[in-house]
Amino acid sequence: MNKKFWFGLLAGLFALFLVACGSSKTTEESKEATTTEEVVSGATEREYTDPSELKDSYDVVVVGSGGAGMAAAISAKDAGADVAIFEKMPVIGGNTSKSSGGMNASETKFQKEQSIEDSNDLFYEETLKGGKGTNNPELLRYMVDHSADAIDWLDSMGIRLNKITFSGGFSVARIHRPEDGSAVGGYLVNGLYYNLKEREVPIFVNADVTDLTDKDGSVTGVKVKIGGKEKTIKAKSVVLATGGFGSNMKMITKFKPELEGYVTTNHEGATGDGIALAEAEDADTVQMDQIQIHPTVYQETSYLVSEAVRGEGAILVNSEGKRFYNEMETRDNVSAAINALPERSAYVVFDQALRERATAIEQYDKLGMVVKGETVAELAKAIGVPEENLVATMEAWNKYASEKNDTEFGRTTGMEHDLTKAPYYAIKIAPGIHHTMGGLKINTKTEVLKKDGSVIPGLYAAGEVTGGVHGSNRIGGNAVADIIIFGRQAGTQSAEYSK
Ligand code: ADP
C-alpha cells in the first residue's frame, strides 16, 4: 500500500478523533496552543528523537520546526543529505501550527479543476500592491512562480489543499485550504511530521540553538542546549527556520514603539533568535519595522479569528451596529479602520450557514468567543448594539450580497452568500500583533546575505525569520506560501552545498 493510503488513513483517524472530541484544528491563538498540540500529539502519537541519538555532525542542521523548517528538512533529505531538526520548544510546529487560513498559489491544478482563472502575474501584482510596492521583487517572483509546484509537492506527500477561497486584497480565489475547511496549520504540521517520520529525519525538541559556529567566514555548525547540556554539532550547512519575533515585545517596541500594549497571536517561541544568531555572523536584515497587526483578534485570549471567516462572507460592525469599512481590504487598512473607531474594537458577524462552511468557528465557540442570537435583533441585544441598526445593516448587506454590489464600502469579494440563516453570531475583536514581515536578508537561493551583498557560506534561512517577500503588508495566505516554497528551496540548496 502506498504512502498516500497510509497518510489518508492516518488523517481519517485523526479527523474522527477530533470529531469525537468535539474539537477542530483551529489553533491560531496563543493560550491554547500547548493543549491543542497535546491533542494533536496524542492523535498521531507524535514521537520525538531521543537526545541520546544525537550525532556529532550532520550534513544539514535545520533550526526550527515550523512549516519552513519541516519543508526544508524533507527536501534536504530527499536531495540525499543527512539532516536533523533542532526545535527549542517541547513540541514542533511553531506559529505554523496556529495558522488557520491557507496557502496562496496561482495557476494550480486545483484552481483549474474548479474553473478559477488566475495567473502568476496577477498573484505577483496583487501581492506587490498589498505590500505597497516594497516587496523584494526577486523573492516575490520566485514565490509566485513556484507556488503551483509547491501545491503539487504537498499533494504528492498526502497534504491536499484543494478548498479555494478569497484573501483580503486579492481579486481571485487563491488561498488553498484543507478540503474539510479546517485550519491549515494543524493539518500541515501533521502532514509534514508524517513525512519526516517516514524519511527517518531526527527531530530533537527542547533543543535550543544558542550560537552558530564558523571557520574562515563559513558557517560550520551550531551550539545547542539539549538535555541540560550544551553541545557543539558540526554541519556542512545550517538552515535557520526559527520564525519571527512576534512574541518578543522588546524587539517589537524597539522597531515599532506604537505597538506597546498590543496583544500578540504568536506562540511563545517566536522570539527572533534566528535574527540574533545570523547577525552574529554579519548578516543583514531588511524591513524590521514592518510588523503586521491582524484586525480580528479576540483580545481576552489573543485568539485569532481567521480571515477566512470574512472570506466566507462575514461582516464587521461597530458598537453602533453599523458596518464601517470594506471587510476584505488588506489587514493594515482594516486594522486602521478598527483603531479609528472610538471603541477601537468591532464585531465579526455571521450566520449559521457560514458557521457550517467555516468549521474553524466550532473551536471559537468552544473557547467561549461566540455570542449567539436566534434572530438578528436578539444578537444585537446580546452584544449591546442598537437593534434597529443591526437589523438594517444586515438587510442592507444581504441586498449587496445578492446583487454583488456593495454600494456603501465597495466590497467585491466574499459575497457569494448572504447572511440569512438563523441563528446569528458575533465575535468581539480588535487588532493584535500577528506577523513580523522584516527579517534576515536572503536571495532566491535562500542564502543569507551580508550588508555588502555577499553570501555567508553555509548559512540559509527561510520563513518568517527572513524579510522582504511581503513588503510592508502581508496578504493572508502568503505566510504559508512563503514557508513552504522557501523552506523547500532552503532544503534543496543547503543539501546541494553540503555535497
Ligand atoms: P515559520 O512559519 O517560519 O516556519 P514557525 O514560527 O512556524 O516559523 O516555526 C519556527 C520554529 O522555530 C518554532 O517552533 C520555534 O520554537 C523554533 N525556534 C525558534 N528559535 C529557536 C532556537 N533558537 N532553537 C531551536 N528552535 C527555535
Q: Is 96 in the pocket of ligand 1 (CB under 6 A)?
A: yes
Q: Is 69 in the pocket of ligand 1 (CB under 6 A)?
A: yes
Q: CA-to-CA distance for 292 and 274, rounded, in angstroms?
A: 19
Encode pLDDT of 189-221 as tens digits: 999 999 999 999 999 999 999 999 999 999 999
Which ligand 1 atom lies nearest to the CA of residue 64? 12
Which ligand 1 atom lies nearest to the CA of residue 68? 4
Residue whose Cα lies nearest atom 11 of ligand 1: it is 64
Q: Could you tell me the residue ranges of all domains in the chain? A: 1-290+437-499, 293-433
**What pLDDT, on the 0 to 100 scale, is given for residue 182?**
81
Q: Is 485 in the pocket of ligand 1 (CB under 6 A)?
A: no
Q: What is the whole-number distance in angstroms between the Cα of residue 339 and the centre of ligand 1?
A: 30
Encode pLDDT of 145-171 as tens digits: 999 999 999 999 999 999 998 888 999
Which ligand 1 atom lies nearest to the CA of residue 208? 24
**What pLDDT, on the 0 to 100 scale, is given for residue 493?**
98
Q: What is the whole-number distance in angstroms between the Cα of residue 336 and the centre of ligand 1?
A: 29
Q: Which has the closest alpha carbon to 486: 159, 244, 152, 241?
A: 241
Encode pLDDT of 370-397 as tens digits: 999 999 999 999 999 999 999 999 999 9
Which three three-digit cell numbers place residue 121? 502575474
**pTM: predicted TM-score of the whole model, two decimal places:** 0.86
Q: Is 65 in the pocket of ligand 1 (CB under 6 A)?
A: yes
Q: CA-to-CA distance for 308 and 475, rounded, in angstroms?
A: 12
Establish whether 199 is a catalytic residue.
no
Assigned architecture for domain 293-433? Alpha-Beta Complex (3.90)
> Under a CB-based contact definition with an 8 Å cutoff, are residues 160 and 498 in contact?
no
Pairing of strands 315-317, 346-351: antiparallel
Give the list of residues 6+ apart from residue 1 with CB closer than 8 angstroms, or none: none
Q: Is 269 in the pocket of ligand 1 (CB under 6 A)?
A: yes
Q: What is the whole-number distance in angstroms between the Cα of residue 104 and the centre of ligand 1?
A: 22
Pocket mutation for ligand 1, best pick of 37, 242, 247 (most atoms within 8 Å of C-beta): 242
Residue whose Cα lies nearest atom 9 of ligand 1: it is 66
| Ranges of the chain whose pLDDT falls below 70 | 1-45
Q: Which has the closest alpha carbon to 83: 485, 494, 488?
A: 494
**What pLDDT, on the 0 to 100 scale, is given for residue 11?**
45
What is the CATH number assigned to the segment(s) 1-290+437-499? 3.50.50.60
The residue behind cell 536571495 is 443
Cis peptide before 423 (omega within 30 of 0): yes
Q: Is 242 in the pocket of ligand 1 (CB under 6 A)?
A: yes
Q: What is the whole-number distance in angstroms between the Cα of residue 116 and the centre of ligand 1?
A: 34
**What pLDDT, on the 0 to 100 scale, is given for residue 101?**
84
> Under a CB-based contact definition with an 8 Å cutoff, are residues 221 and 234 in contact?
yes
**What pLDDT, on the 0 to 100 scale, is given for residue 45?**
66
Phi-psi region of 471 (alpha: psi -120 to 50; beta: other; left: phi over 0): left
